Each structure stands twice: as C-alpha cells, then as structure tokens.
Amino acid sequence: MAFYARKVKGNAVFVAAVVTELVIVLLFILNEYGKISLGFLWLNMVGAVMVYVLAVLLQRTIYRNSHRRLS
C-alpha cells in the first residue's frame, strides 16, 4: 500500500484488511457449499483489490481527519 497509495494511513489499511478477510472467508464458505463458483486462486485477486479500494475509500471518508503529530 505504501508505494501505490501514499496518502492512505495504517488505520484505514488495517480496517480494510480485517473486513476483506471476513469477506474472503465468506466467499470461500459459499464456494465450498456450492452457492457460488469461484476458483481458489481468484480469492487472492479479490482480496488484494478489495484491500486497496476499501483502504482508499476509508481514508477519504472516515479517516480523513486522523492526522496526529507525535510532538
């Protein structure tokens, strides 16, 4: 994230990663029960794209005023 979206801070990335992990587990379970048909390797792509997009959206909305100085 640091190389591609420099304005996105750690809090937004952490929340995006946790939410994405829950979605990926849900997609895996739905795939195992035959509700959806999704190849196992597609979970990697879905997870990577979802973390990036969700982190940028969270940073621009919820975490936009979270600039704290350590002084």
Q: Is the pLDDT of residue 7 over 90?
A: no
pLDDT digits (tens, 9 = 90+) for 9-23: 999 999 999 999 999
Q: What are phi and psi of 10, to 5 degrees?
A: -65, -40
Nearest to 10, CA basis, from 63, 46, 53 = 63
Q: Is the pLDDT of residue 24 over 70?
A: yes
Kindly tell me the sign of the dihedral angle through the C-alpha atoms of 33, 35, 37, 40.
Answer: negative
Q: Is the pLDDT of residue 43 over 80?
A: yes
Taking residues 37-50, report their average pLDDT. Answer: 96
Taking residues 33-48, report their average pLDDT. Answer: 95
The model's pTM:
0.82
Higher pLDDT, 1 or 16: 16
